[in-house]
Copies of this chain bind each other. A is one copy, B any other.
Amino acid sequence: MGTNGYADRVIQRLRGKKLKITPQRIAILHYLEGNTAHPSAEQIYREVSRAFPTISLATVYNTLDTLERLGELQVVAIDPARKRYDPDTRPHHHAMCTECRTIQDVHTDYGGTIALPDGLRERLQVASVTVHFSGLCRSCSPVTI
């Protein structure tokens, strides 16, 4: 919606790559814009279907794949059951409740405090370092019930 929003930016990039701007893609981009819920493909499909009832799951997967290859979408590997998607591609961390599987962003910058041990640094060209916090959120915590 905003002139500098996610959808607008990605649309420019699609145009630049001579990829097509379809109503389905636009609907998915609008759903993802500012979305911090880390939805699964199925969730994205369900939500976008409400505004766009004829969209197919395959199109959702195709679009997510395209966005990932454009570097405009990140797969979050923290939920062992399914892929979760994040339109925020800045380096950041995640916190998940192991009960309700809610994922929250952690935008703390740990700077250089997290370093690979020397031995490993020679064996792996590190592209990303992410911290995963997990535990029980307030609503899932026994004491709270």
Residues of A within 8 A of B (CB): 75, 77-80, 83, 95, 97-98, 104, 106-108, 110, 113-117, 120, 122-138, 141
Partner of A127, one of B78, B107, B134: B134
Query: Which residues from chain B contact A80 at a C-beta distance below 8 Å?
Result: 75, 77, 83
Query: Which residues from chain B contact A130 at a C-beta distance below 8 Å?
Result: 131-132, 134
Given contacts A77-B79, A114-B113, A120-B95, contact A136 B127 (CB under 8 A): yes
* Contact (Cβ within 8 A) A126 B135: yes
Partner of A124, one of B115, B122, B136: B136
* Contact (Cβ within 8 A) B97 A124: yes
* Contact (Cβ within 8 A) A114 B110: yes
Query: Which residues from chain B contact A115 at a C-beta distance below 8 Å?
Result: 108
Nearest CB to that of A107 among chain B residues? B117
